[in-house]
Structure 1
Amino acid sequence: MSVETHPETTETTDVVEMVEIDAGVDEELLDETSVSLFEGDEGGLEYAQRRALVTLLKQRFISARTHPRDWVVLVEHERLIRSRLNDLFLDLQLDRSREVAWKRQATSETGVRFPTMLYDAAWSREETLVLVHLRDRLRAGVASGDARVFVDREDVVDYVASFRPPHATDVSGDDKRARNAITSIVKAGLLIGTGSEDRFEISEAVEPLIPLELLQELLEALVTANAEAPAEPDDPADLFDDDADADPVAAGDPAEEQ
């Protein structure tokens, strides 16, 4: 199963880091109602619209909470920004109820593959398990009426460890991979830091970005893999194989990528 759920945006051959780069921009010097922002500028978007577009290209997703200023602009000028993404063979995905927006690679009706700015970076096995747990916790919390849902680091580590098969003996290595998976999910913006380094808030973006049906399918595959005794010590079917990092599990679908 090879599916794309962890796409990055590239600028030529380099990966664009998920950080804000407009910290040095003096917005007081900019006329946000003008579409001409520099000498020779032939762009058709105002400054705020361009900023929202750039943020959407850089980030895996934007939301009303993480990028409130850009979210407002995106909602107000959805059609215009969508058209700019379409020019790049990208499609805008918008979940208004959860106030989350993300991009995905456009697909041709004839099956022709378009040039892409995205590349596949599949979630690892441990990251997949973390996402399964976060989605379950988020849905349970929302169903209970919680406006914000939190999770502790050790709770997540214990959940991943619960899938360790009987024949797995590298406990310390398994623990390290689980903690690295949490760090990766934090960097993806799907876990939000709090005042404590061991407690996180689960982003509302987890549910729309990670389709439930696919996570259930992957979870079932991982459980099945654990139930099968390896033919030899380094059987690649082992969820906690020492070479697991070199054999990532893809946890999504191109049609549901961010």
Structure 2
Amino acid sequence: MTEVSEVDHDAAHDTAQVAMHEDHTGAPPAAPPGPPTFVEPEAVEADVTTLFAGDTGVLPYQARRALALVLQRRYLSAAGHPAEWKALLAHQGVLASRCHDLFVELVVDRDYEIAYKRQVREAGLSIPVLLKDEPYKRIETLLMLFARNRFRQEQGVGERAAYVDAEELVDYALGFLAQDETNLAGRRREIDNAVASLVREHVLDEVAQGRYRVEPVVEILLPVERLRELTAWLRDPSPSGPGSPHTTDRAGEADEADETHDADDGSDAVDEDEEATA
């Protein structure tokens, strides 16, 4: 019993000493360090100001422009819209989610610095289709094939850009006309219209009268697999077989074989001057 009392007395003495120390310093001993405090990421809404009356959007201005341009045009490029491209990369997850809400996929190709949209199709889901599959015309397909080959050739020798002239495009397309073709003026107009269509869709960019820069998007519109099919079709020498581009049947097959692409009811054809005023 005596030993226990001495232990209790010593413990009480130590407790009193600690209490006296706390009273003297005015603060309890520091707690041991714990795990670092988790910092919540800053919400998108934090940097957003209202852009118009009744605005409930949460994206900054350039990110909204990026989303609108992707939905409006064939594609968005870093070269054509550097500010919007930068905003698209910064907010890619949110913009992809916005597109998914519309059953549209946002595709971002960082190698070619191009972003474009693609219609979502899923078996078992009833999906309202916003983007229609619209085939290129036969002449447009031929011109794109020529432009893509030129693009790859220039890349192969280390050039950063590829260019084609209007007369080159015309001569190439005329080479696939039927040998007994007589309406050359009509065919020339058809080729000119095809060139104008590719310029509107920003596959070709007119840098001077009759001279065009080939845009990298041609690689996406005509992937390697598709290029092989078209090259085999063009090289088939059979006079009446499925590979001949000079037969009546081939004209129909060419339309079926034209590259299919996503377009939103004509809204892709946007004039740059009109957009600059937006």
Task: Please list every run of 5 or more consecutive structure 2 residues that lacks an aligned counterpart in the other structure.
Answer: 1-44, 242-246, 269-278
Q: Paired residue for 1:181? A: 194
TM-score by length of structure 2 reads 0.69
Q: Residue 99 of structure 2 contacts residue 105 of structure 2 at CA under 8 Å; is this kept in 1?
A: yes
Q: Does 1:251 align with 2:258?
A: yes
Paired residue secondary structure (1:140):
helix
2:156 paired with 1:143: yes
Counterpart contact for 1:61–1:101, Cα < 8 Å: yes
Q: Distance in 2 between matches of 1:102 and 1:90?
A: 10
Write the distance in 1 (CA, Å) between the matches of 2:147 and 2:233.
18
SS, match of residue 143 in structure 2: helix
- Please report how far the alpha carbon of residue 51 of structure 1 lies from its aligned counterpart in structure 2 after TM superposition: 1.3
What is the match of residue 43 of structure 1?
A: 57
CA distance in 1, matches of 2:235, 2:139: 13
Higher alpha-carbon Rg: 2
2:209 to 173, 186, 197: 197
3-state SS in 2 of match to 1:116: coil
Q: How many residues align?
A: 216
Distance, in Å, in 2 between the alignment partners of 1:148 and 1:65 is 12
Candidates 227, 237, 244, aligned match of 2:239: 227
Aligned to 1:94: 108
Residue of structure 2 aligned with 1:162, choices 164, 175, 180: 175
Deviation, structure 1 residue 223 = 5.6
CA pair 226-73 structure 1, distance change in 2 beyond 3 A: farther
Q: Tell me which of 87, 109, 121 is aligned to 1:107.
A: 121
The one of 94, 98, 101 equivalent to 1:84 is 98
1:216 aligned residue (224, 228, 231): 228
- Compared CA separation, residues 179 and 219, structure 1 to 2 (3 A): farther
Structure 1 alignment gaps of length 5 or more = 1-30, 230-234
CA pair 35-82 structure 1, distance change in 2 beyond 3 A? farther
Query: After the TM superposition, which of the residue ranges 211-220 and 90-99 deviates more from structure 2?
Result: 211-220
How far, CA to CA, are the matches of 1:165 and 1:48 in structure 2?
50
Give SS of 1:145's match: coil
Change over 3 Å in CA distance of 1:220–1:177 after alignment to 2:
farther
| Higher percent of residues as helix | 2
1:118 is the counterpart of 2:131: yes
Over the aligned positions, Cα root-mean-square deviation in angstroms equals 3.0
State percent identity of aligned pairs: 33
SS of residue paired to 1:160: helix
Aligned to 2:7: none
